[in-house]
Structure formats: C-alpha cells, structure tokens
C-alpha cells in the first residue's frame, strides 16, 4: 500500500493527536492536527480558514458550525465543530489573541500569511514519525482517519460520502479502504 492511509490504531491515533500538546508543545500544530482529524477538511481548506470562520467576535464565542466553500470541488460544506476541535481552537486563540480576519494557521514569522502545504506536511510527518507505525501518513491522512473511525463507529458509508462531498459511493468505499478492511476482518474473525 503506497497511498496515504488513515491512522487505524486508536492508541497510535491518540499519541499522534497529542504529540504537539504533550511531547513537543506547539498550540498551532496541535490545533491543525485536531482540526484536520475532527472536520474532515482537506489541508488546502484548513489552511484558508480565518478566525472569523470559527469565532464570533461580536458575541465572544466559538461557533458550533461554519460554512466553507471547498477549494477542490467548489461545493459548500457545513462543518460542525465538536468539543475537541473547539477546545484546541480555544487554547490556541487564548495564546494568540488574533483579529477576526487573520488566518488561523499562520507562519511564525508573519501572522498575515498562512503556512503552506509543505509546512503542514512537515508538521503531520513529524508527529507521525514519532507516534505511528505506518509510513504512509500525510496531511490527507487526517481526513481519511476521520472517515475511517466514523465508519468503524457505525456511520454508514453513504453518509460519509455526503460529508466528503464525493460523487459516488465507490469513491468513498475506496477512499476509506473499506473493501480491504472488510475482507481482512473476514479472514481474522474466521478461524477454522
């Protein structure tokens, strides 16, 4: 398997998620990983987010949902911010004290510019190299991990197809590696 993979092992996933919180503290990098894992957004869409997408400056509170126009598909996607995403955003927000039109994931040297995809990849790879046994982890693994664990927790693939804005069930099925995992499970659960 030479393609990007989700992080399947829950212990590795926890270690990966917590790497920039516990082992190498960096609230921006931690927030990037948590947001990627909990929103299923592509890295290009994550990097375009601004604070006013996720925080209501007028009411001084984090939004529960936000609308984004996906860069790749041009489709709108309504994203829910769960507790983990909001908690990571809050910690980062309180450290940064940003203005509403700032990008969330900015360069350390310039708060007016977001980090680029290469830097995001480095952030993800550093955490993965220290915590995950699979070498095929990249920024896209965040998105795939969301779907994989949602599927394992009983979310129907057709609903994930809608979350991902995929054009067909087959695309989602292949994307999550469902066919192979289901086949593997048959072999592992049947010992004759």
Length of the chain counted residue by residue = 192
pLDDT at 127: 98
C-alpha 115/C-alpha 46 separation (Å) is 10
Q: What is the pLDDT of residue 34?
A: 98
Structure tokens at 33: 């990983």
Q: Would you state the pLDDT for residue 62?
A: 98
Active site residues: 42, 72, 140, 143, 166, 175
CATH of the structural domain 10-139, one choice from 1.10.580.10, 3.40.1440.60, 2.160.10.10, 1.10.443.10? 1.10.443.10
Domain ranges of the chain: 10-139
36 contacts 139 by C-beta, under 8 angstroms: yes
Q: pLDDT value at position 184? A: 83
pLDDT of res. 2: 58
**Nearby residues of 183 by Cβ (< 8 Å), 6 or more positions away:** none
Tokens of 97: 């004290």
pLDDT in tens, the chain (192 residues): 458 999 999 999 999 999 999 999 999 999 999 999 999 999 999 999 999 999 999 999 999 999 999 999 899 999 999 999 999 999 999 999 999 999 999 998 888 999 999 999 999 999 999 999 989 999 999 999 999 999 999 999 889 999 999 888 888 888 887 777 777 887 888 777
Q: What is the CA radius of gyration of the chain?
A: 17
Dump strand ranges (E) for the chain: 55-56, 61-62, 65-69, 76-80
CA distance linking residue 19 with residue 15, whole number of Å:
6
* Residues paired with 69 in a beta bridge: 76
| 61 strand-pairing partners | 56
Answer for the pair 170, 61: CB distance below 8 angstroms, yes or no: no
Query: CB count, 10 Å around CB of 152?
Result: 14
Using CA atoms, how far residue 15 sits from 6, 21, 142, 190, in Å, is 14, 10, 14, 31
């Amino acid at each position: 398997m030479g393609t990007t993979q989700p992080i399947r092992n829950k212990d590795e996933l926890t270690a990966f998620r917590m790497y920039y919180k516990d082992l190498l503290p960096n609230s921006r990098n931690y927030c990037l990983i948590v947001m990627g894992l909990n929103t299923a957004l592509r890295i290009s869409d994550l990097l375009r987010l601004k604070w006013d997408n996720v925080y209501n400056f007028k009411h001084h509170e984090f939004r529960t949902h936000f609308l984004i126009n996906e860069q790749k598909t041009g489709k709108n996607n309504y994203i829910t911010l769960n507790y983990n995403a909001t908690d990571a955003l809050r910690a980062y927000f309180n450290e940064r004290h940003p203005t509403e039109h700032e990008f969330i994931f900015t360069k350390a040297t310039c708060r007016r510019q977001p980090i680029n995809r290469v830097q995001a990849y480095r952030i993800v790879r550093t955490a993965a190299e220290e915590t995950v046994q699979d070498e095929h982890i990249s920024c896209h693994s965040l998105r795939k991990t969301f779907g994989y664990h949602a599927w394992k927790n009983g979310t129907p693939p057709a609903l994930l197809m809608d979350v991902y804005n995929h054009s067909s069930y087959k695309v989602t099925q292949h994307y999550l590696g469902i066919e192979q995992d289901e086949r593997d499970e048959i072999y592992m659960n049947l010992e004759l």
